[in-house]
A and B are shown apart, each in its own frame.
Chain A
Amino acid sequence: MFDKLGERLKNIARNLSGKGRLSASQVKESMRDIRRALLEADVNLNVAQDFVSEVENEAVARKIYDSFTPAETIIQIVGEKLIGLIGKAEPLVLDKQPSSILLVGLQGSGKTTTAIKLGIFLKSKGKNPFLIPADVKRPAAFEQLRDMAERENLPYFSERLDNEVKLCKQALSRSVLKRYDTLIFDTAGRLHIDIEMLKQIKQIKETVNPSEILLVADSMTGQDAVNIAQEFENALGITGIILTKMDGDARGGAALSMRKVTGKPIKFIGIGEKVDALEVLHPERLASRILGMGDLKTLQEKAEKAVEKEEVEKFQKKIQEGKLDLEDFLGQIKQLKRIGPLDALLDMFPGGKGLKKMMDEKQMVRTEAIIQSMTPKERQNPSILDSSRRKRIASGSGTSVQDINRLLKEFKMAQKLLKQMKGRGGPAALSSFFR
């Protein structure tokens, strides 16, 4: 389902390459597929439809019907348009002394977590940030922010007041006293149709006169994203969007809708619950994710981040010497887990489907259990695994002897694959995946 559009475009390319001349119905069909891919990614219907007709117009303008490489042209147009629509990564504008950042959004979208993430980010840029827990509504919102801030050694406003506007005012005067240069206001989650609550946030805005008003939105949001963004924009005039929970497998099309209706940039992406899981926007990546097309660059970068260099070198050496053992295999499995959701990852490079089957998550859990039930000797030298050892391992790991046989077979296959790849140089992404 994920790379349907990519597949379709590739098919068109395959069928037509060299032949040229596209039929009108083929163009219509690929436009339908583009529309569908966007809708499946939660891009708003109207936004998707506008997008598709723009693509079609552009395709005709670029003489798609006379083109010898029509599919490539379509892919190119889609890519360009999508990246254009997503817009560039824009930095925070912190133009006051001190500058305030107001985080707003629906309930549970990730504001409090993002407040801490931004605090850490700004501190790493040499700023002196101050956190203000201005959510007096949700039970234990204060404790949530306090505990994270203390853990990260970030200063926060610790006075408790029932009135959020007053609280913000006091925090502001405190910050001047203490010479903080950036204030991050965490606010209560609110619905975009809750008039009372919107009034309140407007008052906060007037009080703190923020440099940035960032709408924190969940990447899993559906079609309603346009209304949410529009209402917050109308009420406050937001300056940017932060898209959270992108570590999952949501395609994140809501971002496109929100960007389109507000015209405001997507400034950051949240990629995990941990406090350092914040990234600046990479438009090409978001584009390929929304389309569900593989993206080698992301894969490589992700893999590189997670795998320590030393381990990589050690591992490469072992491959070269043909000394790869089950322990390394286990190490790899663990690393793969660390890199993130495997499905999304394997979708990112050509040929990933076969590997996906071999290393699907459930299988990996079993594999890990089996290897953990082996003695170090057995891991280093799987050839000593006779049937009684296999039986012991099976009962120790809660699997069957068949499972163990299968694993050993897979292990052999992996060894072989690695050797072949080494021989042929192998696609870069694939070897980075395996190293």
Chain B
Amino acid sequence: MNLRKTLQKTRDNFSKKLRNLFGKRDPKALVDFENLLIESDFGVDTAVSLVGTLEKTTPENYLSSLKKELINILNVSVGGNDYTKPIVELYVGVNGVGKTTTIGKRGWTLHGEGKKVLLASGDTFRTGAVEQLSKWGERINSDVVQSGYGADPAAVCFDAVDAAVAREIDYVLIDTAGRLHTRNDLMEEMKKIKKVLKRKREDLPQETILVVDGTTGQNALQQAKQFNEAIGITGIALTKLDGTAKGGIVVSIVNDIGIPVKYIGIGEEKGDLIPFSAEDFVTAILEE
């Protein structure tokens, strides 16, 4: 899938307007620029600070310095990848953001790289969740470890790691139930999952991915803060960018918390997950 093509809508809305504004070569355009950022969910604070950055330069350089600044913000250095097998990736987030689907897509990517993947059905709460993941397992040809509804999700994860060791699996992708960050009991349940994994092996899970719906507004920042505080997030998957939403809030998230974006979701099919690169992403948004 071509990033440039997928972000067509985003570019239509954002880049064109931006070029129009900056084309005027007039510092007054910065007011409209601030509004454009707000309309793209960047949030008032980040919008004001980006305007501040541009104010330091001349109108001819607005576009290039915006590009530089955005890449600068989004380019968070990612830790080493010298993980020991099995690599466990834990997917968390609020309800309906796309956790299960992202796992399916991620599994497909790994599958394509010749990796052995195991899916773990840690959402034992929502009806249909186990079946949903099973269907993804069939779709991408991966085994799924599951347990009945109401089962302890931590126990499912425990079993999944055992199974992964026994079957010489490369990657274990753990699905979890959606939970609002304001629900203390559910946040505790999630912490327990991590604790159990850690007890299995100190380096597990190597990745804890927060899935964020690209349509989300300012609340996403709260989500990122609370989830990060609760279990430590290593990366973000930003979904549903195939719509018209700009997902601007992710810039605030990365800027404030320093968690890198790792993937972007651009559809419901198995091939619709793209590894994130700040450079490519910003270029795709800003280019004509």
Contact = CB atoms under 8 A, between A and B. Distances in A.
B58 interface: no
Contacts of B217: 42, 220-223, 225, 250, 253-254
Nearest to A48: B38
Contact of B132 (A139, A227, A273, A343): A139
Contacts of A224: 41, 215, 243-246
A221 to B, nearest CB: 6
B287 interface: no
Contacts of B245: 222-224
Contacts of A106: 215, 240, 243
Interface of B: 9, 35, 38-41, 43-44, 94-98, 125-129, 131-132, 134-136, 139, 149, 178, 180-185, 188, 213, 215-220, 222, 240, 242-246, 248-249, 268
A132 interface: no
A96 to B, nearest CB: 30
Contacts of B246: 223-224
Given A106-B243, A140-B132, A273-B126, A220 B39 contact: no
Interface residues of A, number: 55
Contact of B127 (A139, A143, A225, A344): A143
A245 B43 contact: no
A218 B183 contact: no
A150 B231 CA distance: 35
A365 B184 contact: yes
Given A139-B131, A147-B128, A248-B182, A39 B44 contact: yes
Nearest to B213: A108
Given A110-B96, A249-B182, A223 B41 contact: yes
A248 B188 CA distance: 16
B244 A218 contact: no
A379 B9 CA distance: 61
Contact of A218 (B38, B215, B222, B242): B215
A222 B184 contact: no
Contacts of A142: 128
B94 A245 contact: yes
Interface in A125-165: 137-148, 151
Contacts of B125: 273
A248 B39 contact: no
A169 interface: no
23 contacts: A40-B44, A42-B217, A42-B218, A107-B96, A108-B95, A139-B131, A140-B132, A143-B131, A145-B128, A148-B127, A191-B243, A220-B213, A221-B216, A222-B216, A222-B248, A222-B249, A223-B217, A223-B246, A245-B94, A247-B180, A249-B181, A273-B95, A273-B125
